[in-house]
Amino acid sequence: MKRELEILVKQMHSTHIPYEEAVRSFKRQYLREVLLAHRGNQCKAAAEMGIHRNTLSRTMAELGLELAEVRAGLKRPPRSVRPVLSAVRENYR
pLDDT in tens, 11-43: 999 999 999 999 999 999 999 999 999 989 999
What percent of the chain lies above the pLDDT cut of 90?
60
Q: DSSP labels for 24-64?
A: HHHHHHHHHHHHHHTTT-HHHHHHHHTS-HHHHHHHHHHHT
The confidence score (pLDDT) of residue 32 equals 92
Contact assessment for residue 24 and residue 63, using Cβ atoms and an 8 Å cutoff: yes
CA distance 51 to 56: 7
Q: Which domain holds residue 80?
A: 2-92
The confidence score (pLDDT) of residue 90 equals 59
Distance of CA 30 to the CA centre of its chain: 6
Backbone angles phi, psi at 80, to 5 degrees: -65, -20
Mean pLDDT of 2-10: 90
Which CATH number is 56's domain given?
1.10.10
Structural domain total, the chain: 1
Q: What is the mean pLDDT of the chain?
A: 85
* 65 dihedral zone (left: phi>0; alpha: psi -120 to 50; beta): beta
